[in-house]
Amino acid sequence: MARKSPTALVKMAFEEDVLRIAIADIQPLRLVTREMKKTPKYRRIAASMQEVGIVEPPIVARDRTKPGKYLLLEGHLRIDVLKDLGHTDVVCVVSTDDEAFTYNKRVNRLAIIQEHKMILKAIERGVSEERIAKALNVDVAGIKQKRRLLDGICAEVAEIFKDKYIAVQTFTEFKKMAPLRQIEAAELMVAMNNYTTTYAKSLLAGTPESHLIESAKPKHVKGVTDELAEVRFDLALRAHDEVWLSSAVDGKPPSESIMEDGQSITVHATDRAILKVGNAGALDVAFNGQKVPVRAAEGEVRTLTFTASGLQVPTATPKPN
């Protein structure tokens, strides 16, 4: 029986202890320009540090050619703000690897529900909404809106969206739906990989009145019939391979585009939308938030006609030679 090779030791990525280092001994690897100091990101970092101090220590590596000196791998804006505030030293995490790109490429944005939970936690600890807004350099109204983000959202939807990057306005549309419809709509968003507010509005438009909360149900005005009301529908398209698309909406000249794998498009119409699709088997379609079975093979060309009542009988077009 072959002998197993000994298990290799895992190299530590950072030194065990953080160090307080003089800023003069830290060599930046890129310049913070005047233009960068005018950006919202820089102003937000500066406001946060002025209000609550530095939260995430910069990452440095020891300069192999100059003992006692360090290379700044991550945290250039924070170091620049500290200089402007008159600080002369800073606590740093010391990396055993001096390649800066290995850190920046792993930075992830905070999902909206995670941000909501952090705001709630800060408020529970006695931090006022005004101070949070000042630290983040945003308007207090925005903090209040994010604090109430999940009011009226069922727990199942909060779980589905917990790590998704979604606009606050999307949750506003969801709050008009009953819980079961919220879950159905959230699952459609995941299936279509489309989390835009426009798609949320389409899902709301396709929601039966019985699945809306009372305050979101349409008001019927005496003397105005449903037939006279303007009819509007939306088509959410998502490609899972390259797709050629020609769309003619409400009698207007058709527009052509190539959809890449994973790309999403929303088409709005009031009367009729005619889609000519190349590689129709690679296109997912939802009509007012309801998934529509295209029933086409990959590589097949299809013409799909939609009216306010939904998909009309599709016609197959022979493949070009």
Tell me the per-residue pLDDT of 73-99, one tens digit each, with 9 for 90 and over.
Answer: 989 999 999 999 999 999 999 998 766
pLDDT value of residue 219: 55
* Strand partners for 317: 301
pLDDT value of residue 98: 67
* pLDDT lower than 50: segments of the chain: 105-106, 221-229, 231
Structure tokens at 197: 């507010």
pLDDT value of residue 262: 81
Region of 95 (left: φ > 0; alpha: ψ -120 to 50; beta: rest) is beta
Please, are residues 192 and 264 in contact by the beta-carbon 8 Å criterion? yes
What would you report as the CA-atom Rg of the chain, rounded to the nearest whole angstrom? 27
Structure tokens at 245: 């698309």
pLDDT value of residue 14: 87
| Predicted structure pTM score | 0.54
pLDDT value of residue 140: 86
